[in-house]
Chains A and B, each alone.
Chain A
Amino acid sequence: MTAPSVSEQTPPQQTQPEARTQSRWNPRNPWRHPWFLEGFTWLYLIWSLVPIAIAVLFSFNKGKSQSVWQGFSWRWYFKDPVNSVLHNPQLHAAVIQTVRLSVLTTVIAVPLGVAFALGINRWRGPIPSTFNFLMILSFVIPELIFGVAMFFVFTELFTSVHLGTTAEVLALVTWNVSWPAIIVQARLVGLGRHYEEAAADLGANRLTAMRRVMLPLLAPAIFASAVLVFSGVIDDFVIVDLLSSNSGNTPMSVIIYSTQHGGNGGPALNALGTIMLVMSFIIAIIGYIGYRFMTRGERGSRIDALTTIAGGEG
Chain B
Amino acid sequence: MRRQKKNAFWIALAAPGIIWLVLLFIVPFYAVLAIAMGKLDQLFESPVAVWNPFAWSSENVIDVSRDLVGSAAFAGPIVVRTVVYVAIASLLCLLIGYPAAYFVARFSGRRKGLFLILLIAPFWISYMMRMLAWISLLQTNGIANKALSWFGIAPVNWLGGHAATVILGLVYGYIPYLILVLYAGLDRIDPALIEAGRDLGLGRARTFVRITLPLSKQPILTALLITVLPMIGDYYTNQLLSGAASTSMIGNLIQGQLGTPGLEGQGAVLSLLLLLVLLIPMIYYVIATNRSSKAAA
Contact = CB atoms under 8 A, between A and B. Distances in A.
Interface residues of B, number: 115
B239 A66 contact: no
A159 B214 CA distance: 52
A149 B35 CA distance: 10
Contact of A280 (B21, B125, B188, B222): B125
B275 to A, nearest CB: 5
Contacts of A131: 14, 17-18, 21
B126 A260 contact: no
Nearest to B204: A30
A148 interface: yes
A190 B297 contact: yes
How would you classify the secondary structure of chain B's contact residues: helix, strand, loop or mixed?
Answer: helix
Question: Interface residues of A toward B: which range?
Answer: 35 or more
Nearest to B48: A156
A138 B120 CA distance: 24
Contacts of B222: 1-2
Interface in A1-57: 1-4, 7, 11-15, 30-31, 33-34, 37-38, 40-41, 44-45, 48-49, 51-52, 54-55
B29 A55 contact: no
A143 B290 CA distance: 21
Contacts of B87: none
A223 interface: no
Given A40-B103, A115-B14, A144 B233 contact: yes
A40 B198 CA distance: 23
B145 to A, nearest CB: 9
B163 interface: no
Contacts of A307: 116, 120, 180, 183-184
A142 B233 contact: yes
Interface string B20-61: 110011111101101100000000000101000000000000
Interface string B168-210: 0000100110001101110010110000001000011000000
Contacts of B151: none
Contacts of A122: 10
A58 B137 CA distance: 11
B130 A52 contact: yes
B297 A189 contact: yes
Contact of A265 (B17, B34, B132, B251): B132
A126 to B, nearest CB: 13
A41 B116 CA distance: 11
A187 B144 CA distance: 47
A140 interface: yes
B236 A237 contact: yes
21 contacts: A2-B288, A44-B96, A45-B100, A48-B122, A52-B122, A52-B129, A66-B142, A67-B139, A140-B229, A144-B254, A148-B267, A150-B28, A152-B32, A156-B35, A189-B293, A253-B126, A256-B132, A280-B125, A306-B113, A306-B116, A310-B120
Given A115-B17, A134-B21, A153-B31, 10 more contacts: A41-B104, A52-B133, A54-B133, A143-B233, A157-B31, A252-B126, A253-B128, A273-B129, A310-B123, A312-B120
